[in-house]
Amino acid sequence: MRLRFSRGVITIAVIVLLLAVGISFGLYHLLKKAQPLAIPDAYCGITTPGGERSLDIEQAQVSATIAAVAERRRLPERAVVIAYATAIQESKLQNLSYGDRDSVGVFQQRESQGWGTRKQLMDPVYASNKFFAALVKVKNYRKLPLEEAAQAVQRSAGGYAYAQHEEEAKILAQAFTGRVPKAVHCWYPPDSKQTPAPKAKTSEAKRQLARTLGSTSVSTRKRGWLVASWQVAHAQKYGLRHVEFSGAAWNNDVNVEGWQAGGKAGDDEVRIS
């Protein structure tokens, strides 16, 4: 017996078939174009009540260095804000090996103007010390508008430009001086072994921190968070996976954002591994 179908049934069947083919075709090309989840580049996130900012690893390291040098010199947070605004304008917080004429480094200081040798100026610790040494000689620098204080140090052709970075500088200062706890979180692609940093690496991290800060001792909770933030910012450089302070822990885990509760370190010690 021969089956017969009405035109309506045939039309519906054709439509269903076309839809199925269309969906299959679309899914095929969507899956073909889809890439495996990419491992993100290394980054640092700053979170404070004043706002949030994203930095690359070098910018975070420079920021941590500037704050540590200011702490060693016992300078107020206002000095750090001025330094950050200046460095953002001059180099975007990067240790540049080039610039206008013979300008180099974080603050684009010039050998020909007596700031130091090119090699010295390419050292962010040295450059930060030179900047602060000049800043403290500026009369009433704490009360001056930021751009005036920065310009008195830099003697730039466009000193007014420093002012535009003041709000960002305040956010960074809150984080890297340690005034806001748990404000600095970084991540970098680890090697396949995921092992703790070797003792030689952690020793070098502590040595470099001591060179910058003068001492790695934690005398106040604020100073402890400054030290912890410095270690997190330099984690990639020294292969650190874990930093602890004040009952909180940072881990180099892309799936974990920020500091988590835990760890054995109290308020008098920053532990790294």
Q: What's the whole-number mean pLDDT along residues 67-89?
A: 98
pLDDT digits (tens, 9 = 90+) for 35-56: 445 678 999 999 999 999 999 9
Q: How far apart are CA 70 and CA 83, in angstroms?
A: 9
pLDDT digits (tens, 9 = 90+) for 156-212: 876 789 999 999 999 999 999 999 999 999 999 987 666 778 889 999 999 999 999
Closest listed residue to residue 216, CA positions, set 63, 205, 127, 80: 205
- Residue recorded with tokens 């179908």: 5
Q: What is the pLDDT of residue 9?
A: 47
Q: How far apart are CA 197 and CA 138, in angstroms?
A: 43
Q: What's the whole-number mean pLDDT along residues 60-80?
A: 98
Does the pLDDT at position 224 exceed 70? yes
> In this structure, are residues 223 and 71 in contact, taking their beta carbons and an 8 Å threshold?
yes
Q: How far apart are CA 104 and CA 121, in angstroms?
A: 7
pLDDT digits (tens, 9 = 90+) for 94-141: 999 998 889 999 999 999 999 999 999 999 999 999 999 999 999 999
Q: What's the whole-number mean pLDDT along residues 143-153?
A: 97
Does the pLDDT at position 7 exceed 80? no
> In this structure, are residues 129 and 73 in contact, taking their beta carbons and an 8 Å threshold?
yes
Interior angle at CA 248, CA 245 and CA 253, nearest 5: 110
Q: What is the pLDDT of residue 77?
A: 98
